Amino acid sequence: MLRVGAHESIASGVHKAVNRQLEDGGNCGQIFTTSPRVWKDPDIAEEDVEKFRELSDENDVGPWVIHSSYLVNLCTPKEDLREKSIASMQKEVDAAARLGIPYVNVHLGAHTGAGVDQGLDNAASALDELDIPDGVTVLIESDAGSGTKLGGDFQHLADVLDRCDQDLDVCLDTAHVFAAGYDLSTPAAVDETMQEFDDVVGIEHLRCVHLNDSKHECGTNKDEHALIGEGLIGEDGMRAFINHEMIRDVPLVLETPTEDGKGFAWNIERVKELRE
């Protein structure tokens, strides 16, 4: 069964994300538990938790993913930022357990001069400080790889999984993968990129895909999402990826823009049309 949905708002209550997902035609999805641009803990009332769980179960919407704050930087050499990042992640995994959400997604962040190897060590050791509840898994997201950000290279993902004592998995973002230099624009390119991911990281670790087209060329390290099939990955690449045997059972979550009157509902329908 195709699992495709979008990153939905929790405005007026986290349970409202389920209603929005259904309106958009999705059956899985992603949320922020609070504003991702400030250090703020999730504040979700128990009644809202129960409504979210009930609506998701009744309508077979899931799995859900919590996306961590944009401020989290697991790779940082700065102790104060590291401590804030760990504390924020702990709140997110605890919120996931309350909501019955199986995944918390996080970017590795930037090493800001500490070096790639030290940055990866920092990330692994920060994740090891988390007390992750049963039933919740942290997903490391692939990155576009600009500046000193880590996660653009598949080897970065594999190294963190190897160095961390936690049981971690991975979320691939198609726009990020493309921007980082892994081509997805043709069926042959999709085959090659997915085989490399399997060889380096292991396809068994792929638990979620952020499905986005890209407004920039492959290898530019520029992270700007486009509508499905209307960016530089394009329709042929998106069709090949959506139907690739390695990801057919992986939930697809859209973080596409709203442009030309085309929002999440249009993009979800486009994915369904491209699925063979």
| Residue-level pLDDT at 84 | 98
Residues 256, 233: Cα–Cα separation, whole Å: 13
pLDDT in tens, 203-215: 999 999 999 999 9
Q: Positive or negative CA dihedral for 20, 26, 31, 37?
A: negative
Torsion angles phi and psi, residue 96, rounded to 5: -60, -45
Q: Mind listing the pLDDT tens digit for each residue in 225-248? A: 999 999 999 999 999 999 999 999
Under 8 Å between Cβ of 229 and 235: yes
CA distance 207 to 197: 13
Confidence of residue 171 (pLDDT cuts 50, 70, 90): very high
Give the active site residue among 37, 54, 60, 248.
37
pLDDT band per the 50, 70, 90 thresholds, residue 155: very high
Per residue in 10-23, pLDDT (tens digit) is 999 999 999 999 99
User: Active-site residue among 205, 210, 216, 239?
Assistant: 210
Separation between Cα atoms, residue 125 and residue 85, nearest integer Å: 12
Query: Among this protein's residues, is 255 annotated catalytic?
Result: yes
3-class DSSP assignment, residue 177:
helix
Active site residue 198: no
Beta-carbon contacts of residue 112 (< 8 Å; ≥ 6 apart): 75, 76, 77, 78, 148
Q: Which of 23, 47, 60, 70 is catalytic?
A: 70
Confirm whether 67 is a catalytic residue.
yes
Phi first, then psi: give them for residue 166, nearest 5 degrees: -75, 155
Task: Give the model's confidence band at 165: pLDDT under 50 very low, under 70 low, under 90 confident, else very high.
Answer: very high
User: What residue spans define the domains of the chain?
Assistant: 4-274
- For the question of residue 107 being annotated catalytic, the response is yes
Q: Give the pLDDT mean for 66-93.
A: 98
Compute the average pLDDT of residues 92-119.
98
Q: Which of 24, 173, 213, 230 is catalytic?
A: 173
Query: What is the pLDDT confidence band of residue 96, given thresholds at 50, 70 and 90?
Result: very high
Q: 106: pLDDT confidence band, cut at 50, 70 and 90?
A: very high
- Show the tokens assigned to 124: 């692994």
Q: How far is 173 from 210, CA to CA, in rounded Å?
A: 4
Across the range 103-124, mean pLDDT stands at 98
Mean pLDDT, the chain, integer:
98
Active-site residue, selected from the candidate residues 15, 223, 230, 270: 223
State mean pLDDT over 123-152: 98
Q: Which CATH number is 4-274 given? A: 3.20.20.150
Q: What is the pLDDT of residue 179?
A: 98
- In this predicted structure, what is the pLDDT of residue 226? 98
259 part of the active site: no
Catalytic residue among 15, 107, 216, 270: 107
What is the pLDDT averaged over residues 22-30? 98
Contact assessment for residue 186 and residue 193, using Cβ atoms and an 8 Å cutoff: no
Q: Say which DSSP state 69 is in.
A: P
Reply yes or no on whether 173 is catalytic. Answer: yes
How sure is the predictor about 151, in pLDDT bands with cuts at 50, 70 and 90?
A: very high
Residue 79's pLDDT is: 98
State residue 250's pLDDT score.
Answer: 98
**173, burial (CB in 10 Å: exposed 0-12, middle 13-18, buried 19+):** buried
Share of the chain above pLDDT 90, in %: 100
Catalytic residue among 129, 224, 255, 269: 255
pTM of the model: 0.97
Q: What pLDDT is stored for residue 196 in this prediction? A: 98
